[in-house]
Structure 1
Amino acid sequence: MDITTIIGVVLGIALVGWGILGNSELKNYIDPPSLVIVVGGMVSGWLVAFPMKEVVNVGKIFAKTIKNNEFDIDQIITKIIELANVARREGLLALEEAVSEIKDDFLQKGVMLIVDGTDPELVKNILETEIDNLAERHAKSRSQLEVMGSLCPAFGMVGTLIGLVAMLQNLSDPSSIGPAMGVALLTTFYGSLFANLIFIPMAGKLALKSNEEVLIRNVMIEGLLSIQAGENPRIIEEKLKVFLPPSVRKTVGTQEANSDNG
């Protein structure tokens, strides 16, 4: 679990609460009509912007922000080197027996294409198309959070304008102007808080996760094509390690590649 999402939201709420209690009372910042305008308006605009088949997946989108990717890039590189050793010792057809041990569908598909004798260029095209579709699906999911993040401040301003209109209609009572102005500004406060603490940061995290997954898929393609070309596992290892930070390159794949060369 990527607990930083939860920590960030809780910490943000705590700091805002601390700031409120240091200058005022919490009850002064609670106004149900303002909250309804922001949340209700955001939900309404979101429903207008997306079809039902996208809307029903919103729970999965939020869940993905606190879920780690199933595989790390170093684990994938290690697995590819293992497959390279098998192919070098026993031939490409021997990889078919290893397919059942591969948990990732993308890598499994690539191995099966190689075992079936598919042309390398066609293998590359098929897998790159899969990556393009993956990135597009991720972008659609991320756009929902981005739209929510843009709608919250917008409806916060709408609520403020509603409050200002009501306030201006009662200028004959000067004592009501201050409290009315405070209530009017609460919708802007709610909108900014939801947008900048929840929706926009979550959209950014999904973008990072998507980029990481695309990178892992590209590593798989590079490794699979190298295996299909019959390259030495040591060479494959060095080619794939360039995708890793220098600090972790020494810990990945060395044992597996050495076992083949020994």
Structure 2
Amino acid sequence: MDILSLVGLLLALVALVGGSILKGAGLGSLWSSAAFVIVIVGTIAAIFVHTPPTVFKRALRIVGWILKPPAANREALMARILEWSNIARRQGLLGLEQQVAEQTDPFLKKGLQMLVDGVEPEQIRHMLEIDLDSQEHQDLAAAKVFEGMGIYAPTLGIIGAVFGLIAVMKNLADPSKLGHGIAAAFTATIYGIASANLFFLPMASKLKSVIARRTGEREMIIEGLIAIAQGENPRNIESKLAGFLH
């Protein structure tokens, strides 16, 4: 569980609710069905048009990474690669065959299988880098779904405010409705700017950071497997992989 993200999301809600109360606007000012329809539903509609179905489905699958990113322990990963290196030196590459079935990460399993099959090191690198680039591209496209929502929401908030002011202008003859109408108009602006800057854009940035971390781990795997395939000394492999720990 990413405690920092959870605290951030909770503080975002506290900032909105607490700010509204402290400013004297009250909780009622934060709710407007018209603003919700224009800004939130409108943002979802815009992102549906903006995004291919496969990318949107991927975005829904990885949104959980914001609170619970994929488990990562580079020290443990390096220790595992060094263990494989020692096995390969003692028993040859075929000695790693038993290790293949124990892997749950498809990327790691594929690389280790190619290693056992005696695929040339450069061919292993080429094939794994293709997989890595493809996965990274898909994940970044999914993260940009939330970035796009952060771009559309403020604009739709302005549209909602304009609609509200139009309604106010139609009731100029009744001063008792002006204050309430203007307040309702600005609620849409709050929805747009707050949802973008407190939720959508931070979510996109967090997902990008998780994706970058996963890419670094996979680059570490590639370098480790290539070093084993080339028969490098475990100490040299450890020195090479140590740079990925920082």
Q: So what's the TM-score if we normalise by structure 1? A: 0.88
Q: Give the equivalent residue in structure 2 for 1:119.
A: 120
Q: Give the equivalent residue in structure 2 for 1:12.
A: 12
- Give, in whole Å, the separation in 2 of the partners of 1:56 and 1:107: 24
Letter of the aligned partner of 1:63 in structure 2?
A: G
Q: What are the residue-to-residue correspondences of 1:85-96 with 2, within 5 Å? A: 85-96=86-97
Letter of the aligned partner of 2:22 in structure 1?
A: G
Query: Quick check: 154-163 or 11-20, which moved more?
Result: 11-20
Letter of the aligned partner of 2:30 in structure 1?
A: Y
CA-to-aligned-CA distance 1:210-245 (integer Å, 9 cap, x gap): 000100010011111111111111110011001112
Q: Give the equivalent residue in structure 2 for 1:134.
A: 135
CA-to-aligned-CA distance 1:116-171 (integer Å, 9 cap, x gap): 11111111100111110011111121121111111211111110111111222233
- Give, in whole Å, the separation in 2 of the partners of 1:37 and 1:167: 17
Contact 2:30 2:187 survives alignment (8 Å): yes
Q: Give the equivalent residue in structure 2 for 1:248.
A: none
CA-to-aligned-CA distance 1:57-115 (integer Å, 9 cap, x gap): 44323212222223322221111011011111111111112212222221221111122
Q: What are the residue-to-residue correspondences of 1:73-112 with 2, within 5 Å? A: 73-112=74-113
Q: Give the equivalent residue in structure 2 for 1:259.
A: none
Q: Give the equivalent residue in structure 2 for 1:194.
A: 195
Q: Give the equivalent residue in structure 2 for 1:210.
A: 211
Q: CA deviation at 1:196?
A: 1.2
Q: CA deviation at 1:56?
A: 3.8
Contact 2:38 2:160 survives alignment (8 Å): yes
Query: Quick check: 60-69 or 172-181, which moved more?
Result: 172-181
Unaligned runs of 5+ in 1: 246-262
Unaligned runs of 5+ in 2: none
Q: Give the equivalent residue in structure 2 for 1:180.
A: 181
Q: What are the residue-to-residue correspondences of 1:19-98 with 2, within 5 Å? A: 19-24=19-24, 25-98=26-99
Q: So what's the TM-score if we normalise by structure 2? A: 0.94
The number of equivalent residue pairs is 245
Tell me the SS of whatever aligns to 1:243: helix
Q: Give the equivalent residue in structure 2 for 1:254.
A: none
Q: Once the two structures are aligned, what percentage of the paired residues are identical?
A: 35
Q: Give the equivalent residue in structure 1 for 2:3.
A: 3
> CA 1:136–1:57 in 2, change beyond 3 Å: closer, same or farther?
closer
Q: Give the equivalent residue in structure 2 for 1:249.
A: none
Structure 1 vs Structure 2 CA RMSD: 1.5
CA-to-aligned-CA distance 1:181-220 (integer Å, 9 cap, x gap): 1111110101111111111111001100000010001001
- Give, in whole Å, the separation in 2 of the partners of 1:87 and 1:103: 20
